[in-house]
Chains A and B, each alone.
Chain A
């Protein structure tokens, strides 16, 4: 059971937009910066978004992050088949004194 809650899967057609939610609490998302990671099959995670909404170097502007209260959202526009991957949110939790991750969301581009 993950501390952060993500939907197990989302899907959309190529060129469409999809959003992935990440729900937490006041001890993590509510008080600390959120990051988002993309994990392609068989590879290590890759940083997409940090500090809630900053795109990491080389990440296209099709990817964006936002946060409101104790929830964060990753949006991907102009979906491509190459975006099919698992996506994870991550944040520090000061009650647990630990970095915590969501359970991951599998994106399927139909």
Chain B
């Protein structure tokens, strides 16, 4: 079965960068996009963007343009999202999810941005 396993929780200071990984198993990694979604404490879901692991093409939500990078390593079936210039309102649980539709989700990675 499909599994997406994410890296562990991170604590970062404002202005720093964070990189979260998402290791896929149970399917052919290059056949499905990986999307990233975050959820601030007590809030709803917010789409960050997607990556096509086969081509490396990416698309990001406008609010993250210039601050987000998505990459993938097909040799180890792993996708990454990196967010730079972190602010306190970037504190959230970050999820990777296979698409489309968004049928399998990672367990989430808490990123806590605090001085």
Contacts and interface: CB of A to CB of B under 8 A. Distances in A.
Interface of A: 2, 33, 35, 37, 44-47, 50-51, 56, 88, 90, 96-104
A100 B47 contact: yes
Contact of B106 (A37, A44, A90): A44
Main secondary structure of the interface of B (DSSP, over half): strand
Contacts of A46: 105
Contacts of B50: 99
**Which A-B residue pairs are the 8 nearest by beta carbons?**
A50-B101, A99-B47, A44-B105, A101-B45, A104-B44, A103-B44, A47-B103, A98-B61
Contacts of B107: 44
Interface string B46-64: 1100100000000101100
A72 to B, nearest CB: 14
Interface residues of B, number: 20
Contacts of A50: 101, 103
Given A98-B47, A98-B62, A56 B105 contact: no
A98 B50 CA distance: 10
Given A45-B37, A45-B95, A103-B44, 16 more contacts: A33-B101, A35-B102, A37-B45, A44-B95, A44-B105, A44-B107, A44-B108, A45-B97, A45-B105, A56-B101, A88-B45, A99-B47, A100-B47, A101-B44, A101-B45, A104-B45
